[in-house]
A and B are shown apart, each in its own frame.
Chain A
């Protein structure tokens, strides 16, 4: 296959960027999208140009590192598929392909197609956990979890943290990411003690990072490589609402005698 690529090139976080056109020649339709990028980079290197920087790691759709806006769709045209699992047979020979980084204020471009997604880590640090220091756990079977709850929690926990939801969202909102974690932990009995506190803290951090608000376009669900449902956003809203209505201000200094 022969393809024309229009790729965003940007030397660094502060540098200006622009779309640059490249040819990708003799690409096997069996190659993955990232393998096509590898071939282009080999050619660029050998002719003395700087290769295109792009994030990738596991190349099997689970690490969440790859992040490309392909022809205006996060992770490209196939549903439920991360960029690394997209294969060139999904494109026509001779196609023109636009490749851009995630464009969200909270994800500043590091270089070319690489962005800084540490905002997502900070949302988790704000409350996306169950406080359970190592060693204190009771026997695993002493907490019963219905299969339905475990399955729902797992559906939400499948999030790979790639950021496609925010990239695809017309409002630049990471609500699907935040809602998925809140749903995962809030669905389980172990997650109950911190449930509302978690929702408040994570939503606040989400906003502080500069993500936009959710207007339920639903773009995120279709962009998500794990097809996480926007139902998780409804659950986040509910937990936030209950939290806002019921959480007391935490008192400090009540110390032990």
Chain B
């Protein structure tokens, strides 16, 4: 059996794939959030940034898109396979089972992951392809599109809920992916996770603030 097959077949190999793809996505999220926050500066700033990405940086954008696409698929496929393996590992459930250590983050990884996958599809259809238009939207006017969409309560609600799922996903995922890649933090409590908490809060806040600010007319 060759090395790659051996690697992929094992639960640890799949976990490593999840961790690496997860970290790629975290990197993207940081950039994405930073881009979004330009909305607070001015409409021109945001739209210029968008034009830059679709103009001079277009090739780079496509590289990023391909990398992300591969990462998302790898993340989902390994998550799915691991979930199936994990379910098979306990065919008879306990009559009583108490969890002692699992956090809300770790417990919601699967359901939250599915929600996030759904969110990603809708989000792309919404802002990238403009296929879904809850309000009239125009190509190139990212700022205007955001204002128009997030003034609608259910659009904002959906984004806010999805970002809660993202925060929880990161609260566990950012911490566990480092451990999956073998990093020990040298802290006496292995559940200690300052970096993951910081990342989760910043990314969650960075994304949530935009729709909320638009909805409450903090931006106009």
CB <8 Å contact, B90 and A217: no
Q: In the complex, which residues of chain A have a beta carbon less than 8 angstroms from the beta carbon of B100?
A: 73, 168, 219, 222-223
Q: In the complex, which residues of chain B have a beta carbon less than 8 angstroms from the beta carbon of A71?
A: 96, 98
Contact with B along A229-246 (1 / 0, CB 8 A): 111011111111110100
Q: Which of A200, A204, A207, A231 contacts B184 (CB 8 A)?
A: A231
Q: Shortest CB–CB separation between residue B196 and chain A, in angstroms?
A: 11
Number of contacting residues on B, CB 8 A?
A: 46
Known pairs A216-B176, A217-B102; A231 contacts B10 (CB<8 A): no
Q: Which of B88, B99, B109, B184 contacts A210 (CB 8 A)?
A: B88
Contact with B along A193-217 (1 / 0, CB 8 A): 0000000100110110011111111
Q: In the complex, which residues of chain A have a beta carbon less than 8 angstroms from the beta carbon of B66?
A: none
CB <8 Å contact, A234 and B13: no
CB <8 Å contact, A98 and B95: yes
A80 at the interface (CB under 8 A from B): no
Q: How far is the CA of A214 from the CA of B102 in the complex (A)?
A: 12
**Which single residue of chain A is at the shortest CB-CB distance from B100?**
A222
A5 at the interface (CB under 8 A from B): no
Q: For chain A, what secondary structure do more than half of its interface residues adopt (helix, strand, loop), or is it mixed?
A: mixed
Q: Shortest CB–CB separation between residue B175 and chain A, in angstroms?
A: 8
Q: In the complex, which residues of chain B have a beta carbon less than 8 angstroms from the beta carbon of A237?
A: 12, 15-16, 179-182
Contact with B along A154-187 (1 / 0, CB 8 A): 0000000000000010111100000000000000
Q: In the complex, which residues of chain B have a beta carbon less than 8 angstroms from the beta carbon of A210?
A: 88-89
A218 at the interface (CB under 8 A from B): yes
Q: How far is the CA of A122 from the CA of B6 in the complex (A)?
A: 19
B7 at the interface (CB under 8 A from A): yes
Known pairs A72-B98, A219-B100, A221-B101; A204 contacts B10 (CB<8 A): yes
A6 at the interface (CB under 8 A from B): yes
B92 at the interface (CB under 8 A from A): yes
Q: What are the nearest 10 A-B pairs in CB distance?
A: A238-B182, A172-B89, A213-B11, A212-B89, A171-B86, A218-B101, A212-B86, A72-B96, A72-B98, A217-B102
Interface residues of A (CB under 8 A from B): 6, 8, 19, 69, 71-73, 98, 100, 103-106, 168, 170-173, 200, 203-204, 206-207, 210-219, 221-223, 229-231, 233-242, 244, 247, 249
Interface residues of B (CB under 8 A from A): 2-3, 6-7, 9-16, 82, 85-103, 106-107, 109, 172, 175-176, 179-184, 190-191
